[in-house]
Amino acid sequence: MPFRTIIEPFRIKSIEPVSFTTREQREKLLSAAHYNLFLLAAKDVLIDLLTDSGTGAMSTRQWAGVMEGDESYAGSPSFDHFKHSVQDIFGYKHVIPTHQGRAAERILFNVMCKGGDVVPNNTHFDTTRANVEFVGAEALDLPRSEARQPGTILPFKGDMNVEALEQVIARVGRERIPLVMLTVTNNSGGGQPVSMANARAVSELCHRNEIPLYFDACRFAENAYFIKLREPGYADKSPKEIAQEMFSLGDGCTMSAKKDGMANIGGFLCTNDDVLARQQENLLILTDGYPTYGGLAGRDLEAIAVGLQESLHEDYLRYRIASTAYLGNHISERGVPIVLPPGGHAIYIDAKAFLPHVPAEQFPGVALAAELYLEGGIRSVEIGSLMFAKAAQMELVRLAIPRRVYTQSHIDYVVEIILRVWGQRERIKGMRLTYEAPFLRHFTAHLEPVV
């Protein structure tokens, strides 16, 4: 870049006010929400970094597409726009629209898997894992060994461990592995990218064993840009060319268009297999809708058709990746422990290292997330012992950045608040559970500070 300042590659045409609260008000609001940020009203949050899913801002072209959406039940031209846009990037023969990513996952695993099967992935996202397990199959994570070391800096920390995959195929047999998945970028592994070399090695191994490879493509554009920046031989290729090359290595994909589809809702499932596509469409009709809308309105299909292409614009990706890295680097330089290097869509603070005096049973991630809200009205999410109980590998707080929503001054504010909380970390207390639901407890749990 010829200049240091990160500028948003857009102007603002329509604004949405955010509401300021005092610390005293936030103390009352947090206590009423039982120290669980999911239970806060969004209007009481100043900067909402809970998720980057479905929270992005749409462009004027997307809004124009919304107005042009054709709501015919069958054969809508909006479906044709959507299908052409998806095929232009992903290249797969069949495109099945779904209402979001997990609906695509449910259909895929219902059609391809049965009890006793094994589905390897670099790291399953939680809905992916749940949908694999729902059909009685085993969801197996095979990340590279360094993926769980927050401080280790590698260009492609999201890669799959190819040797481990080879061993799994030899151990369980290819008949019990109906497909392999590769999640780009690896969300649960810190938003880290997967290299083209790794995708190619996984693809070759799968195809040698006649196992189909599917991508979980949610953040494919961010992944493509990391390849352009970091992988030898890709600097002169466009993000779109890189994405096309990556998807040519697979047999299909699932996608949540709420991420790099730049839309507020939607998703899709793609496959090259005619027989599977027919079965998938039949399941879609049962629960989501007719195959030319799949649970979406025609206007949603138009927004996704445009959004997918916009997510690959280089000006946008340069800003997106630089802005996330800016947040990560500015707090990391001052000693705040984070998962390094900064990922594409989020910064993950290592709450265990941030609060070494708070044991895992006292939920350091929840305590830190609560403090960021109290100090500055920032909402983040714990990814640790509250979310995963005994299966937690790390104690993280994720700050996910919605696409095209916050400006650099908002990001500067987030840096300021995190550094302030860092300066007062010794006085932050752990938390105790007072209520938990039997499953997915983090959404509804009640907690209180340990006195």
Ligand X SMILES: Cc1ncc(COP(=O)(O)O)c(C=O)c1O
Binding site for ligand X (CB under 6 A): 53, 100-102, 125, 127-128, 183, 187, 216, 218, 256, 258, 267
Q: What sign for the dihedral angle of Cα 283, 289, 56, 421?
A: negative
User: Based on CB atoms, which residue is closest to ligand X, 104 or 374?
Assistant: 104
Using a 10 angstrom Cβ sphere, with 0-12 exposed, 13-18 middle and 19 or more buried, the burial of residue 120 is buried
User: Based on CB atoms, which residue is closest to ligand X, 291 or 343?
Assistant: 343
Q: Which of 213, 92, 159, 133 lies closest to 391, judged by CA?
A: 133
Q: Closest approach of Cβ 105 to ligand X, in Å?
A: 7
Token pair listed for 17:
């006010």
Q: Among all chains, which residue has been given the structure tokens 């799949």?
A: 294
Q: How far is Cα 181 from Cα 95, in angstroms, rounded to an integer?
A: 18
User: Based on CB atoms, which residue is closest to ligand X, 257 or 372?
Assistant: 257
Q: Among all chains, which residue has been given the structure tokens 């992988």?
A: 231
Q: Closest approach of Cβ 354 to ligand X, in Å?
A: 24
Q: How far is Cα 230 from Cα 75, in angstroms, rounded to an integer?
A: 42
User: Based on CB atoms, which residue is closest to ligand X, 106 or 299?
Assistant: 106
Q: Closest approach of Cβ 216 to ligand X, in Å?
A: 5
| Torsion angle of C-alpha atoms 87, 111, 223, 322, degrees rounded to 10 | 100
DSSP β-ladder status, 396-400 and 381-383: antiparallel
Contact 198, 162 (CB under 8 A): yes
Q: Closest approach of Cβ 62 to ligand X, in Å?
A: 17
Q: Closest approach of Cβ 294 to ligand X, in Å?
A: 13
Q: Closest approach of Cβ 231 to ligand X, in Å?
A: 21
Which phi and psi (to 5°) does residue 186 adopt? -80, 95
The tally of CA atoms less than 13 A away on the side-chain side of residue 5 is 6
User: Based on CB atoms, which residue is closest to ligand X, 256 or 362?
Assistant: 256
- 192: DSSP letter: B
User: Based on CB atoms, which residue is closest to ligand X, 157 or 330?
Assistant: 157
**Contacts for 329 with CB less than 8 Å, ≥ 6 apart:** 342
Q: Closest approach of Cβ 156 to ligand X, in Å?
A: 16
The H or E element that residue 324 is part of is helix 314-332
User: Based on CB atoms, which residue is closest to ligand X, 127 or 244?
Assistant: 127
Give the amino acid at 424. Answer: Q
Using a 10 angstrom Cβ sphere, with 0-12 exposed, 13-18 middle and 19 or more buried, the burial of residue 415 is middle
Tell me which residue has its CB nearest to ligand X: 101
Q: Closest approach of Cβ 266 to ligand X, in Å?
A: 8
Which phi and psi (to 5°) does residue 313 adopt? -65, 135
Q: Closest approach of Cβ 182 to ligand X, in Å?
A: 11
Largest separation between any pair of C-alpha atoms in the chain: 62
Q: Closest approach of Cβ 426 to ligand X, in Å?
A: 34
The H or E element that residue 139 is part of is strand 138-141
User: Based on CB atoms, which residue is closest to ligand X, 234 or 268?
Assistant: 268
Count other Cβ atoms within 10 Å, centred on residue 392: 18
User: Based on CB atoms, which residue is closest to ligand X, 100 or 280?
Assistant: 100
User: Based on CB atoms, which residue is closest to ligand X, 26 or 258?
Assistant: 258
